[in-house]
Amino acid sequence: MHIVIWGLIGLSASYLLYILVFYFLQRRMLFPTHELPVPDAELITQAGGELIRLPFSQGEFELAYMPPINQRFGELTPVIMFAHGNGNIIDDWANRVDYVREKGFGVVLVEYPGYGRSDGKPSYNTIKECMLKAYNWIEQQPQLDSKHISLMGRSMGGGAVLSVLSEKNPYAVVLMSTYSSITDLARQRWLPHFLVRDPFDNVSALKDYDGMAYMIHGKTDKTVPINALTKLLAAKQDAEHKIYSTGHADTPDNWHEFWVVVAQLLEDNRAV
């Protein structure tokens, strides 16, 4: 009997330590700024992009505007506002958006606070603040089509772009390997939901969105299990989607094919 009691005490102590470690280190795990690539602004400028710094509550954050390589839509340029995963910086994506730029789209790569050359610290609130300011910047540019702003987010970036839906109504949303919420990810790891500091509730964000949506996910994704896609599709039932036989980091397994589909969807559904 004493062995059972001491065993339960040991398990309880281990679990308490587990949740304490999570609570105090969750932002370090969610936003691993200590493991990010070294910034290289030349990757942006050599690809024909322009770096822009905008003020926010913790200093300045950065975005990169990658103009279209071919102007195909008249005077106004439709825009894809992109948010990367939590282990990237915007410089990593400078040479990966050429296809949609060749198809006439401008791309805005938005950096998170504390990432790359941006000031501040990442959190749900500061990321949402920067995403909204980036969206506002796009709306203020006379050469950009404010009626055709599409949001694209990969992994963590899905929650970043969806955070603006409480105040904005973008033309389209494209989600790649995106979680239903950080709270759900915590529950799957036996962590109390009330300890989550940055919930990023993407299901709630999508429920009232009436624009076009396209989602992709990997069937064997262990970082963000496939049931996240099921929940997102339940919230946005008219969304188009594709499931790959891949994991988290290797979805999609054919980037050219992915960009072709995205460009076609955004162009086919674009209002005349």
pLDDT, tens only, 91-144 = 999 999 999 999 999 999 999 999 999 999 999 999 999 999 999 999 999 999
Helix (H, G, I), strand (E, B) or coil at 241: strand
Question: From CA 209, how far away is CA 232, in angstroms rounded?
Answer: 12
Dihedrals φ, ψ of 86, to 5°? -75, -10
Q: Are 216 and 245 in contact (CB under 8 A)?
A: no
- Domain 31-268 top-level CATH class: alpha beta
Question: What ranges do the domains of the chain cover?
Answer: 31-268
Question: pLDDT band at 250, cuts 50/70/90?
Answer: very high
The bridge status of strand 144-154 relative to strand 77-83 is: parallel
The CA distances from residue 25 to 114, 184, 205, 269, in Å, are 16, 18, 26, 43
Q: Are 265 and 214 in contact (CB under 8 A)?
A: yes
Question: pLDDT band at 14, cuts 50/70/90?
Answer: confident
Question: pLDDT band at 12, cuts 50/70/90?
Answer: low
More confident position, 220 or 11: 220
Calculate ∠ Cα 198-204-209, nearest 5°.
125
**Closest to 111 measured CA to CA, from 138, 136, 93:** 93
The CA distances from residue 17 to 12, 14, 25, 40, 191, in Å, are 9, 5, 12, 39, 11
